[in-house]
Structure 1
Amino acid sequence: MKNRFGLRFEKYHEPQEIKLSDNNNKDNNKVIVSDNEVNSREATREKLLKAQYIEYQKKVELFREQVQILRDEKAKFISEKEKFEDEKRSFELFKNKIDNIKKQVETEINSLEKQRKDMVEVFKEIEKEKRNLKFQVEKLEKEKEVLKKQKEDFEREKREQKTNNNFLEKKLKSQESLFENKFRILETELQNLAVQKEKLEKQKAFYKQVSMFDERKEPARIEENIINAEMFFIGVGTKDSAKKRYKDLIKIYHPDNIAGSKEMLQEINKEYENLIRRFGE
């Protein structure tokens, strides 16, 4: 018989009486085993029990070692499990962090795309403004040529009228001063336009990279309904400067002067009133 530890125990049997047959005696007398034989059997049984006990002790020790190994394996498994749980939590935190970074990157990309579109629109506006300034420069150049011709005519008139009286001479000097003033204003405006044109060129270079995202160019329309008087108020930024410019223009374009023009004076008055209202706001 084996127990759960794998030990085998022999079933002990009490010594029994041995029956002796006597062929000559038919009554089958019972013979009792001698004391020596009983002692021999007891010794054999004791040796067997000791051997089984030693085997049992060995198996118990082996079982204890196996139990300890299992306990160590269990502790190692628990440690590995805790480590895995920690790594799992770290991975979840890392994953959440990556998701947040991804959302931030997507938000930044959308913001940059919006800025790019806005800069494209600004670039188009700059191109449009550049064309308008170019148109105004060309117009001022033409006006300058006209004034130059008027000045030459005036110089010729001056030479022809040189012999006239002092009153006429004073008047001519006054007209010359008016023409010089008008010419100086136009030159100043041309210089201002040149500065603005240079600024626009720098801005165009800055936004040139933006135009790479949108190769389609929308043609800018040139406003054709520009009042002639507007060019004489270019560079005016305050109410006081507008008044000063208006006084200078009145001296030049008053109908009583040689270069005077009633229509131009009306346009100047109209533009001046618009500026005063705008500055007044």
Structure 2
Amino acid sequence: MRSQAEKGRLFRDLHERPGILLLPNPWDAGTAKLLQSLGFEALATTSLGMSNALGRADGEGSVSRAELLENCRAIAGATDLPVNADLENGYADEPRAAATILRDAAEAGVVGGSLEDWSGEKIYDFNHAVERVAAGVEMARSLAVPFTFTARAENLIRGRDDLDDTLRRLQAFEKAGADVLYAPGLRDLQTMKLVASSVGRPINVVMSAADPALSVDQMAAVGVKRISVGGALSRLALAAFMKGAREMKDGGFTWVREAMPTRDLKPVFRS
């Protein structure tokens, strides 16, 4: 089993090598182990997937800070892979208070994490958002293990369709020292290329908001470095669950043929 410091260094290296880093999003220990068994090189938590597993509507306040950190601990402890954490807005508005979640997430075993510029009600004012990123960078650099800090600009998924302001924020976040830049809501190659060419740090694209017809090669060609899927795998699992449950309600069981065999699960979960 790799040490946390080894995971941290590996995660940094995965961002620096040529090519795309695929970052799937498990929501518990079991899905983390399954993704590792497929050969993925790193993982990321998902707030939506966790909310779904808890039977709660996703959104600010649906998952407590303690629950989020415990989910980080469960996923990081289940796998030998580096884990990046969706840390919401840090559960605080004040920059240094928000940044403490990076320390607590690292103590839970993750080696990367993101902070949003969304309070739960509004996008933070520009200067305040930059101060929050600067505090996050300071905290990340103070940790005992290498920690990759991602700064998120939430405009495009929060009803504020302002690409110019999004680019301004990402550029300021880069200047403040963020390791990775992330603007959820990028959908097409032209916009991805514009964002990637406007900054000098790795860009994360989430496929739950992007055109699903796009390929890894196409996105790599326009400068995307990292691809995640947010809660999309969780929603896919729930769609299969509901399909089988509806058939069962109607008296049928053909869905059992599509279930993953127990013999395939046992070797993964024994590891």
Q: Indicate the structure with greater strand content.
A: 2
